Amino acid sequence: MKIMDNCYYTKNHEWIRVEGNEGWVGVSDYAQDAMGQIVFVELPEADDSFAQEDAFSVVESVKAASDIYMPASGTVTEVNEVLEDEPELINEDPYAHYICKIELEDMTELDNLMDAEAYGAYCESL
Amino acid sequence: MGEVKRTALYDVHHKHNGNMVDFAGYEMPLYYDSIINEHQAVRHHAGIFDVSHMGEVTVEGEEAEGYIQHLVTNDITQIDEGGVMYALMCYEDGGVVDDLLVYKYTSTKYLLVINASNIDKDYAWIKKQGEAFDVTLKNISDAIAEVALQGPKAEKILQKLTDTDVSSITFFTFKVDVLIDGKKCLVSRTGYTGEDGFEIYTTLENIAHVWEKLMEAGQEEGLQPAGLGARDTLRFEVALPLYGNEIHKDITPLEAGLSYFVKLDTDFVGKDVLVNQKETGLTRRVVGLELLGKGIARHGYEVLSPTGEKIGEITTGYKSPSLDKTIALAVVDKPFTKLGSDVVVQIRKKQVPAKVVSKKFYKKNYAK
């Protein structure tokens, strides 16, 4: 299982990579593996605002739809439209294929998330 | 909640990296490799499914034929010895108890194959209906293991392991005492995928051997183990109904579009309601939908008219692995059952337009 050092992680298996006050958000390798083949991603819209832990996207496998939650509060600045036609890219590389970019509202919220090491231990414990 | 049961193939599933889930009280593989790959293997080559969780009830006695005729909607006097028939059991109000396969050995001996999720409920119903008849009923579900070998290469694979001419087992017939690599099996040319194939019944002791030998024999034919996920996407594409989705206690076989399996000139439990329903006309029916916008319509999602009134709900929906379209089965009110009707599916917060299409999304490829 792949865990990226430069991301923060949630208990629901979302990741966020932060540069300045921008964050790239996606689902982890653990999540894509657990979901199986992904056949649809419901993207949020640019300018939508979400609080930390709000559901902002739905990733659907053959069998089921899974809500995806915001790792940190923010406003969507860009969505990864490629996923509309090629949702399976998340299976191929869940870190390269983010779901959306956000402008972060409160950097201190990142303290509520796990770093790579803590997330690795968390996944081991499941 | 009772304990979760394991089939006699549990170790085999682990060996093949089965992704196990709790289904109808059994720990079953949802998929091994991936649902879509297993689906395609069955459509183009072959797949093998553990269906040991299905229920089996034997019916024996002088009045077996009359009893089953009373129990199910189809005309079982039309089955020859060695024949299999699909039928439904209804409650007095016409709702469906379950769908089942009826295997006829002789007019005094039959085997009923029922859905895993309904075994206890069905057996109670089957016993209750049998009280007035001279029949002996036995629930032998726990003693029978079963695999389904499905796909265009199924016959070729099975033939490698038996001296029985499997081409002589024609569509919806069965043979007993077929030796598969020396293990005695009942083999029927039936299945639940829309492809040619066989259902193979044997003892708990023999099933793992049969599975492994079939896997070996099927290696060069592209045989793959297939899980419950592919079983559902395959049956859905050819609009074979699933209990709890297209059929259940609150929907009649006629509403489910299964009138072909309902013979109203025979007598069976629930018949009066169905006769009445046929005379007065159906108020709703199961139809096919093709989604015209993005999204996947899942079981239970609401179906709306173009003006926003609720007119039904989705019974099953997937992105079809064979057709690369997003399609669904739905039970909708009469005015919207006509092919080409415009409807809307409520997918979470979005309303996605859809149109009513033939339920035969994918053509069945039975060997008849």
**pLDDT tens digits along A7-45:** 999 999 999 999 999 999 999 999 999 999 999 999 999
Mean pLDDT of B80-100: 98
Q: Which residues from B are below 8 Å from A62, CB to CB?
A: 35-36, 229, 233, 318-319, 321
Q: So what's the pLDDT on residue B246? A: 97
Q: How confident is the model at residue B2 (pLDDT cuts 50, 70, 90)?
A: low
Q: Kindly report the number of other CB atoms within 10 A of residue B82's CB atom.
A: 16
- DSSP structure class, residue A12: T
User: HSE (CB half, 13 Å, CA atoms) of B348?
Assistant: 16
Q: So what's the pLDDT on residue B368? A: 80
Q: So what's the pLDDT on residue B80? A: 98
Shortest CA distance to B13 belongs to which of B183, B215, B221, B225?
B225
Whether residue B63 is annotated as binding a ligand: the answer is no
Q: Is the pLDDT score of B1 beyond 60?
A: no
What digits encode the pLDDT tens for the residues B193-219?
999 999 999 999 999 999 999 999 999
Q: So what's the pLDDT on residue B102? A: 98
Q: Kindly report the number of other CB atoms within 10 A of residue B169's CB atom.
A: 20
Q: Which residues from B are below 8 Å from A63, CB to CB?
A: 30, 35, 229, 232
Q: Over chain A, what is the mean pLDDT? A: 96
Shortest CA distance to B52 belongs to which of B198, B202, B191, B175?
B202
Helix axes B119-130, B64-71, angle to 10 degrees: 120
Chain B stretch 98-157, residues whose beta carbon is closer than 8 A to a beta carbon of chain A: none
- The reply to whether residue A63 touches residue B294, judged by beta carbons under 8 angstroms, is no
**Model ipTM?**
0.88
Q: So what's the pLDDT on residue B366? A: 94
**From the CA of B148, how many Å to the nearest CA of chain A?**
21
Phi, psi of B193 (to 5 degrees): -130, -10
Q: So what's the pLDDT on residue B3? A: 80
**From the CA of B20, how many Å to the nearest CA of chain A?**
12
Q: How far apart are CA B256 and CA B331, in angstroms?
A: 8
Q: Which residues from B are below 8 Å from A36, CB to CB?
A: 19, 30-31, 34-35, 229
**From the CA of A112, how many Å to the nearest CA of chain B?**
29
Read off the pTM: 0.95
Q: Which residues from B are below 8 Å from A40, CB to CB?
A: 294-296, 319, 326
Mean pLDDT of B118-141: 97
**Is B199:B190 a contact under the CB 8 Å cutoff?**
yes
**Is B83:B104 a contact under the CB 8 Å cutoff?**
yes
Q: Kindly report the number of other CB atoms within 10 A of residue B96's CB atom.
A: 26
Q: How far apart are CA A52 and CA A33, in angstroms?
A: 24
